[in-house]
């Protein structure tokens, strides 16, 4: 699972829209005090748009660091990017961070890797530093799905629940918050996201399964799709 390759998650989707990033970073800055001297790391940063926006907002003296196993050509220029597996990063890192962000990436690691990554992340925090983990809300999920996708999502969310419980046990002092974003997307664009296998649960599906799913979504939804993209946030 560790080397799942997701290429189209934030490829011109709501997840890389200005509105989403603004709302997300507003949420972050409401929950942690950061300034121009802050050192920030994003584990599994994708195209690094969230970090890039944080850099502009905070006028960071040092570019924030983003790491990912995929090096996108169109990644944000305002970040320092390193193509590296999360499990290897801390063996070469010498910095202490004020914020370590792990957004919608933790579920791509195995349990042993998660434990190790969180332990190392804790060690690499500044005294007031915090780790922010974001993962899909396991209870009230509204992601538009077709039948097979829903099944895969349910299996994935069941595993996420185990990850959340493990983190709860390891870090009982954690703070739990919720973040949501109202998505308004035209169906054709969402169909394209499915075609591009934007979520990890779609990566293992065959072309035939995806084609069938596209027909199902087309029948199930009207021209515009509205739903809440809901995340759980754990602050360690
Ligand atoms: C669902 S995307 C989330 C991207 C970004 N954090 C966001 O929320 O917009 C998951 C990201 O984690 C990356 N990833 C997966 N396994 C990884 C690993 N072992 N180390 C570093 N990054 C990883 C993927 O390449 C992908 O960019």
Q: How many percent of the chain have pLDDT more than 70?
A: 97
What are the backbone dihedrals phi and psi of residue 14, each rounded to the nearest 5 degrees, phi first?
-60, -25
Name residues whose C-beta falls within 8 Å of residue 188's C-beta, 6 or more positions apart in sequence: none
- Report the C-alpha gap between 143 and 230 in whole angstroms: 9
Rg for the chain, CA atoms, rounded: 18
pLDDT in tens, 77-103: 999 999 999 989 999 998 999 999 999
How much distance in Å is there from the Cα of 89 to the middle of ligand 1?
14
Burial class (CB in 10 A: 0-12, 13-18, 19+), 196: middle
Closest ligand 1 atom to residue 2 Cα is 19
Closest ligand 1 atom to residue 3 Cα is 16
How much distance in Å is there from the Cα of 68 to the middle of ligand 1?
6
Q: Is 48 helix (H, G, I), strand (E, B) or coil?
A: coil
Residue 15's pLDDT band, with cuts at 50, 70 and 90, is confident
Pocket test for ligand 1, best of 44, 200, 230 (most atoms within 8 A of CB): 44
Residue 4, pLDDT score: 54
Domains by residue range for the chain, with CATH: 14-235 (3.40.50.150)
Burial class (CB in 10 A: 0-12, 13-18, 19+), 180: middle
Please tell me the pTM assigned to this model. Answer: 0.93
């Amino acid at each position: 699972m560790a080397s799942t390759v997701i290429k189209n998650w934030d490829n011109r989707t709501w997840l890389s829209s200005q509105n989403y990033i603004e709302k997300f970073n507003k949420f972050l800055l409401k929950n942690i005090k950061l300034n121009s001297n802050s050192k920030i790391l994003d584990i599994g940063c994708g195209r690094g748009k969230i970090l890039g926006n944080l850099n502009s907002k905070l006028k960071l003296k040092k570019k924030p660091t983003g790491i990912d196993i995929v090096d996108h050509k169109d990644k944000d220029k305002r970040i320092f990017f390193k193509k590296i597996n999360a499990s290897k990063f801390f063996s070469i890192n010498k910095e202490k961070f004020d914020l370590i962000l792990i957004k919608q990436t933790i579920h791509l690691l195995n349990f042993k890797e998660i434990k190790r990554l969180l332990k190392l992340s804790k060690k690499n925090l500044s005294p007031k530093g915090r780790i922010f983990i974001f993962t899909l809300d396991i209870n009230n999920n509204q992601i538009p799905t077709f039948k097979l996708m829903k099944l895969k999502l349910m299996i994935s969310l069941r595993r996420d629940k185990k990850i959340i419980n493990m983190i709860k046990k390891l870090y009982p002092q954690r703070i739990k918050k919720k973040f949501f974003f109202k998505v308004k997307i035209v169906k054709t664009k969402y169909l394209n996201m499915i075609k591009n296998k934007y979520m990890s649960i779609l990566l293992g599906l065959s072309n035939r399964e995806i084609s069938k799913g596209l027909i199902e979504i087309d029948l199930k939804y009207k021209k515009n799709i509205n739903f809440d993209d809901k995340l759980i946030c754990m602050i360690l």
